[in-house]
A and B are shown apart, each in its own frame.
Chain A
């Protein structure tokens, strides 16, 4: 049953309302995309459903407040954590990390809605309230493990941005099946012509044309940030961020022994916050590499969603893989099938005496459309035409 502190009858309604709307704030603190209007919807819903049966309330709020698969799966645990009495409360692991990641966004409006929470459910409310303290803690940890401040260095920032802007501009448009009306084109648009002719009494004076619509390909960046890549990973992350700023449809993942999506964090307009979010995502940075397993995980979790027939995949790695080459080969083959083109940038490729003979690289070769070097800005600039050509 729900905890409703009914000290007096007048208070009961207000407490209940506060507690229900507080739930929306609680979900937001846990990374749900719940807005202020949803609080109103929650109350509207409970008027219809009543609040005495926890199952009905659970089902209804789940349908109302969830927006995607992962939110759906986490909902039950969060519902229990919020509404069950403290002695039955299950603490949810994901609370702290997720809340931290979204803290800055919620800080202003969330506090007031969370007050009812701290009144009734102590344990959970504590998690969301200690936002300031956690900022301090994670900063120290960031200094101890990975120093993302390099990401915001002013040096070369202009050049990186300029290069990526050129890249984005020259990235060729792909033709789509969907057609649009054009001023000129290959095919006469009969519909459009007749539509225009209505204005001139049925005489087709002005012709309309159709041309296939063009879009840029979606780009998927997979960056190796293991120890062997440590000289280059920040450089590539900066490139990735500059590219995210230029193009909308860019998805960026970093991998070492696990794979993590960082596009959202890179897009954050506030560089300090972007740094903070990256830090939270990047546990394990600079460790070993299991490229095969990482790509396998990627295919399973994100492949269907992110990779389509207009996607260009760019993998940045030195190919030193501690996993089985067979796994890597299969994962790459699966990724290649889904995508349009696959390009592999290996920063070591141009070093004297290096030949791509690591087992990982050999396993990958048959699936690639292009294997290119690129260790610094000048190097990238040199191979860019090839990459653009390969992505066409």
Chain B
């Protein structure tokens, strides 16, 4: 078979698998994931909050039957929290215990700085797994530039140097998925090292499929109306547009309230559920009875 036809089959196959894991993927994303497996490069996902970036890593782990190791980045994240740390308390205890030991000092020292006293944090954990895991580095833009530099070193060589122990080389190469919300500009070096995928808000058909998979009770008329409603809300000038998570939350809220149809008459009750969809005060002020009624009538 020629490589192109083969590739198309692979793309279709991966999309089916991802759907089985509860994730609806665009063919472009499936192609990028395949390329990521081929080239062994990390995949950088960008897009607004709530478009399902993190879910991709989870679905990929499910499909590959791999472990998911997650590193949540935050301001102030440092090497000790991300890579490794020595278990100082145990080391100290060991020193005391070894005081009356007859072995030479060099051996004792080697014992104290052995892997038994090493606490593995996500990044070290990821490169020392026997089976390649999926490593999710979530919201990398929240960590600072210094951490990004560490990350670059790790992602280029898949090895980590621990001064007391030596260099730890990756047993297997993890599949690295990096997500960013764009609160800080990432360095070009990191971008160049990664495959890139911009995740947009889903189109109508895709979002409908997601709602039908994740909230089967809402299938049919309600699901269609929910998605229609959310899509028109996203077209409005809002400070925070609702993501897929919000759509699902809102669907659950509607079901809980026993609302089975979205129309102009039920606008008051819909208004009560909107806190699941609209998350800032300024945006909420724009949603009066009339506005909701108008959008609902159009669904």
Q: Mark A residues whose CB is within 8 Å of B.
A: 33, 35, 38, 41, 44-45, 47-53, 55-56, 58-60, 62-64, 66-69, 71-73, 176-179, 190-191, 194-195, 197-198, 201-202, 304-306, 308
| Cross-chain contact B35 with A50 (CB below 8 angstroms) | no
User: Complex Cα distance A88/B144, Å?
Assistant: 46
Q: Does B102 contact A (CB under 8 A)?
A: no
| Cross-chain contact B27 with A69 (CB below 8 angstroms) | no
CB neighbours of A69 from chain B (8 A): 46, 182, 198
Indicate which residue in B7, B89, B191, B197 contacts A48 across the interface (CB closer than 8 Å).
Answer: B7
Interface of chain B: mostly helix, strand, loop or mixed:
helix
Please report the total number of B residues contacting A with Cβ < 8 Å: 47
CB neighbours of B92 from chain A (8 A): 194, 197-198, 202
Which residues in window 72-97 of B have CB below 8 A to A? 75-78, 80, 85-86, 88-89, 91-92, 95-96
Q: Does B192 contact A (CB under 8 A)?
A: yes
Q: Does B4 contact A (CB under 8 A)?
A: yes
| Cross-chain contact A66 with B196 (CB below 8 angstroms) | yes
Task: Knowing that A64-B39, A67-B192, A198-B92 touch, tell me 11 more A-B residue pairs with CB under 8 angstroms.
Answer: A63-B35, A177-B75, A191-B85, A191-B88, A194-B92, A198-B91, A201-B95, A201-B99, A304-B182, A305-B185, A306-B185
Q: How far is the CB of B108 from chain A (nearest CB, A)?
A: 10
A35 in contact with B46 given A47-B3, A201-B95 (CB within 8 Å):
no
User: Complex Cα distance A33/B182, Å?
Assistant: 18
Indicate which residue in B7, B28, B35, B196 contacts A53 across the interface (CB closer than 8 Å).
Answer: B7
CB neighbours of A50 from chain B (8 A): 2-7
A68 in contact with B46 given A52-B2, A178-B75, A194-B88 (CB within 8 Å):
yes
| Cross-chain contact B31 with A56 (CB below 8 angstroms) | yes
Q: Does B188 contact A (CB under 8 A)?
A: yes
| Cross-chain contact A305 with B184 (CB below 8 angstroms) | yes
CB neighbours of B66 from chain A (8 A): none
| Cross-chain contact B196 with A308 (CB below 8 angstroms) | no
Q: How far is the CB of B203 from chain A (nearest CB, A)?
A: 15
Residue of B nearest to A203 (CB): B95
User: Complex Cα distance A69/B196, Å?
Assistant: 9
CB neighbours of A51 from chain B (8 A): 4
Identify the 6 closest CB pairs spanning chains A and B, nearest first: A50-B4, A63-B32, A50-B3, A59-B31, A178-B76, A67-B191
User: Complex Cα distance A67/B31, Å?
Assistant: 16
Interface of chain A: mostly helix, strand, loop or mixed:
helix
A305 in contact with B89 given A47-B3, A63-B35 (CB within 8 Å):
no
| Cross-chain contact B183 with A305 (CB below 8 angstroms) | yes
A44 in contact with B39 given A52-B2, A178-B75 (CB within 8 Å):
yes
Which residues in window 1-40 of B have CB below 8 A to A? 2-8, 11, 27-28, 31-32, 34-36, 38-39
Q: Does B112 contact A (CB under 8 A)?
A: yes
Q: How far is the CB of B230 from chain A (nearest CB, A)?
A: 21
CB neighbours of B36 from chain A (8 A): 63
Q: Does B137 contact A (CB under 8 A)?
A: no
Indicate which residue in B35, B46, B85, B91 contacts A45 across the interface (CB closer than 8 Å).
Answer: B35
| Cross-chain contact A62 with B38 (CB below 8 angstroms) | no
CB neighbours of A60 from chain B (8 A): 31-32, 35
User: Complex Cα distance A185/B99, Å?
Assistant: 33
User: Complex Cα distance A197/B89, Å?
Assistant: 11
CB neighbours of A73 from chain B (8 A): 198
User: Complex Cα distance A214/B107, Å?
Assistant: 41
Q: Does B195 contact A (CB under 8 A)?
A: yes
| Cross-chain contact A308 with B197 (CB below 8 angstroms) | no
CB neighbours of B183 from chain A (8 A): 304-305, 308
| Cross-chain contact B4 with A72 (CB below 8 angstroms) | no
Q: How far is the CB of B101 from chain A (nearest CB, A)?
A: 13
| Cross-chain contact A68 with B3 (CB below 8 angstroms) | no
Q: How far is the CB of A211 from chain B (nearest CB, A)?
A: 14
Q: How far is the CB of B279 from chain A (nearest CB, A)?
A: 15
| Cross-chain contact A178 with B78 (CB below 8 angstroms) | yes
Q: How far is the CB of A250 from chain B (nearest CB, A)?
A: 13
CB neighbours of B8 from chain A (8 A): 53, 56
Most buried by A among B43, B80, B92: B92
User: A-facing mask of B169-183, CB < 8 A → 1, else 0?
Assistant: 000000000000011
A56 in contact with B11 given A50-B3, A63-B196, A305-B184 (CB within 8 Å):
yes
User: Complex Cα distance A306/B35, Å?
Assistant: 32
CB neighbours of B32 from chain A (8 A): 59-60, 62-63
| Cross-chain contact B28 with A62 (CB below 8 angstroms) | yes
User: Complex Cα distance A62/B44, Å?
Assistant: 12
CB neighbours of B96 from chain A (8 A): 202
A67 in contact with B188 given A48-B7, A177-B76, A194-B88 (CB within 8 Å):
yes
| Cross-chain contact A64 with B35 (CB below 8 angstroms) | yes
| Cross-chain contact A305 with B182 (CB below 8 angstroms) | yes
User: Complex Cα distance A371/B88, Å?
Assistant: 53
User: Complex Cα distance A371/B180, Å?
Assistant: 36
Q: How far is the CB of A339 from chain B (nearest CB, A)?
A: 13
Q: How far is the CB of B127 from chain A (nearest CB, A)?
A: 23
| Cross-chain contact A63 with B89 (CB below 8 angstroms) | no
